[in-house]
Amino acid sequence: MARLFRQQATERERRDELLSAYLDGQMSAEERARLETQLATDRPLRAELEALRHIVALVRDLPPVPIPRNFILPQTMAAHPRPVPPPRHRRAWAAPLLTAATAFASLLFVVVLAGDLLLLGGGGLFAPAAEPQMEAPRVAVEPSLVGETVEVEKVVSEEVEAEEVAQPGVMPTATPLPMPTAATAEAERYNMGTPEGIDATVPALGSGGEPIEEDTAPASPVAEAGAVAPTAPATTTATMEKYAGDAEPTASAVAEVMPPPEEEAGAVEDGRGIPEDETSGLAPVTLWRVLEVTLGLTVLVLALVTVWAWHARRR
Amino acid sequence: MDEASLIAAAQKGRMDAFNELVLAYQHQVYNLAYRILGDPASAADATQEAFISVFHSIARFRGGSFKSYLMRTVTNGCYDELRRRKRRPTTSFEDFGERDEDANPALVNGHEGPEEYTERQEMARVIQAGIETLPPDQRVTLVLSDVQGLSYQEIAEATDVSLGTVKSRLARARGKLRDYLRSQGELLPARYRLEYVGSEE
């Protein structure tokens, strides 16, 4: 049914086009002759021709509208025969350019985000707390241990000796402390993962320091200074053990390279102590984040400016 | 001074020569704008802007029909206005009352009485309303052809389309206007009705 109506409308349009062209004399002689032959026998077609002729006559007879005023231009305008084009034309290039810039910035943003997810395992914007938890203690512990290791060992060995005197039953061994199994496993994992040079230093602490860390007795203030938390018992977290284990070898291995305790503050201020750790831990994450946030903001600003530019162009 | 001399003088920056051209064409330009836009204020704005635009660009005019050039400029201005209206439809102040632009006592034919004059004005209003129902392309083509009397070639130049497109747009515009007037039926004065023509179909 709809097809029939469409067909009728198309035929009607074709007929109107023929008749309209005929009225304006815009037909070839051949077309004209053919149409006139048809008009001679087709009354409805003739009626339509008359209707169109009537319409054209009515429109042509429309009275001219009087002008409300003269439109002559002021003489002063002659001083500027070729002024700059209107602002709309001057800004015409801005919208497409901004659109391209927004698309490029968005693409870059996506690439950076993808890189973050793939290279850092989402440690960037999406998991902001993960990296600092892993990195911060190392940075805090190592410098403090570096300088104090020798003293800690001395003090710890003195204390152990004192305890041995008081409790002759307790055997100083290099075996790990009694602690929760999970923590023990973790500590073992860390010990297994350490290099030989580091393992060699562990007994030094184990033989001297571990007896102190019995759950019955809080760690001594001196030992705790090396383990970051001064008031916490040594057995409360396996993490502390882990960092003690990690820190010790680092301290002994780097002892010659690192400045002595009295120079530590100055070294840190000079950027010789911490930066090495920062560049390997915090800095990449921070850079990724700064890049992501900057790109995100850029995309946002560009998108807003682009919308405004298209809007201004249409005005 | 003939038109070519006026154009040449205007191209050198002579405003008096350009204003001669303005005086020669302002009626046509304003009427074209009025028939396309259907609103005196918008038509006056479009007319003024067209003359300003032509003056600024007349140095680039390289012969041809100045009338077509002028008509194209004002037509483009009217297109812009129609697009603007489509985006931000507003109610013109004139829409609150009857437009009396077509009622021009000075144009009363000496042979027609007051009743015939009123009928003619009424018919003009209906036709204008019918023109305003047409899509912009068809409206512009119809006005350029049947109101302004431009040839197909001039319309093609003024609207930047082919002759075939002009032909097609004009036929559709006339057909739609015919249908519109038929739909008005009894509202039209008896001598302007189309029923007697189409009743044979």
Domain with CATH 1.10.1740.10 in chain B: 1-89
CB pairs under 8 A between A and B: 140
Count of beta carbons in the 10 Å neighbourhood of residue A253: 16
What is the band of A231 on the pLDDT scale with cuts at 50, 70, 90?
very low
Residues in B closer than 8 angstroms to A66, CB to CB, are 101, 104, 106
Q: Which CATH architecture has domain B1-89?
A: Orthogonal Bundle (1.10)
Hey, CA dihedral for B18, B21, B27, B30, is it positive or negative? Answer: negative
Give yes or no for a contact between B74 and B32, defined as CB atoms under 8 angstroms apart: yes
- For residue B95, pLDDT beyond 80: no
Residues in B closer than 8 angstroms to A62, CB to CB, are 35, 102, 124, 127-128, 147
What is the band of A77 on the pLDDT scale with cuts at 50, 70, 90?
confident
- For residue B194, pLDDT beyond 50: yes
Taking the CA of residue A88 and the nearest CA in chain B, the distance in Å comes to 13
- For residue B16, pLDDT beyond 80: yes
Residues in A closer than 8 angstroms to B70, CB to CB, are none
Domain with CATH 1.10.10.10 in chain B: 112-189
Average pLDDT over residues A122-145: 46
Which residue does chain A place closest to B194, by CA atoms? A51
Contact B149 A60 (CB under 8 A): yes
Which residue does chain A place closest to B139, by CA atoms? A59
Please compute, for residue B3, the number of CA atoms within 13 A of its CA located in the half-sphere on the CB side: 11
Residue A157 and residue A36 share a domain = no
pLDDT at A209: 41
Which residue does chain A place closest to B122, by CA atoms? A62
Share of chain A above pLDDT 90, in %: 18
Which residue does chain B place closest to A48, by CA atoms? B198
Of A40, A60, A80, the residue at which a domain comes to its end is A60
- CA A22 to chain CA centroid, nearest Å: 67
pLDDT at B146: 94
- Angstrom distances, CA of residue A64 to CA of A67, A311, B29, B103, B108: 9, 38, 11, 10, 12
Residues in B closer than 8 angstroms to A314, CB to CB, are 87
Count of beta carbons in the 10 Å neighbourhood of residue B169: 25
Instruction: Kindly provide the ipTM of the predicted complex, given to two decimals.
Output: 0.81
Contact B26 A67 (CB under 8 A): yes
pLDDT at B136: 93
In a domain, A119, yes or no: no
Residue from B11, B60, B126, B146 to probe the interface with A (highest A Cβ count within 10 Å): B146
- For residue A232, pLDDT beyond 50: no
- Tell me the residue type at B166: V
Taking only the tens place, the pLDDT of each residue in B132-188 is: 999 999 999 999 999 999 999 989 988 989 999 999 999 999 999 998 988 886 666
Residue A154 phi, psi dihedral angles, 5° rounding: -60, -50
Average pLDDT over residues A63-81: 84
pLDDT at A89: 53
Residue from A18, A62, A89 to probe the interface with B (highest B Cβ count within 10 Å): A62
Taking the CA of residue A307 and the nearest CA in chain B, the distance in Å comes to 16
In a domain, A104, yes or no: no
Residue A229 and residue A146 share a domain = yes
Residue from B80, B168, B178, B184 to probe the interface with A (highest A Cβ count within 10 Å): B178
Residue A153 and residue A36 share a domain = no
Count of beta carbons in the 10 Å neighbourhood of residue B128: 18
Mean pLDDT, rounded, of chain B: 83
Taking only the tens place, the pLDDT of each residue in A242-269 is: 444 444 444 444 444 444 444 444 444 4
Residue from B15, B51, B176, B201 to probe the interface with A (highest A Cβ count within 10 Å): B15
Share of chain B above pLDDT 70, in %: 80
- Of B40, B87, B174, nearest to A55 by CB-CB distance is B174
Contact A65 B174 (CB under 8 A): no
Domain ranges, residue A265: 130-280
In a domain, A185, yes or no: yes
What is the band of A53 on the pLDDT scale with cuts at 50, 70, 90?
very high
In a domain, A262, yes or no: yes
Residue A192 and residue A272 share a domain = yes
What is the band of A86 on the pLDDT scale with cuts at 50, 70, 90?
low
Task: Give chain A's domain count.
Answer: 2
Of A32, A60, A88, the residue at which a domain comes to its end is A60
Fold of B112-189: Arc Repressor Mutant, subunit A (1.10.10)
- Of B55, B172, B175, nearest to A73 by CB-CB distance is B55
Residue A135 and residue A33 share a domain = no
Residue A51 and residue A143 share a domain = no
Of A44, A60, A76, the residue at which a domain comes to its end is A60
What is the band of A96 on the pLDDT scale with cuts at 50, 70, 90?
confident
Compute the 3-state secondary structure of chain A and give helix, strand, coil in percent, each to the nearest 5: 70, 0, 30
In a domain, A67, yes or no: no
Least confident of A121-135, A160-174, A203-217, B49-63: A203-217
Taking only the tens place, the pLDDT of each residue in B26-46 is: 999 999 999 999 989 999 999
In a domain, A298, yes or no: no
What is the band of A115 on the pLDDT scale with cuts at 50, 70, 90?
confident
pLDDT at A94: 81
Compute the 3-state secondary structure of chain B and give helix, strand, coil in percent, each to the nearest 5: 75, 0, 25
Taking only the tens place, the pLDDT of each residue in A216-227 is: 444 444 444 444
E strand segments, B78-136: none
pLDDT at B75: 94
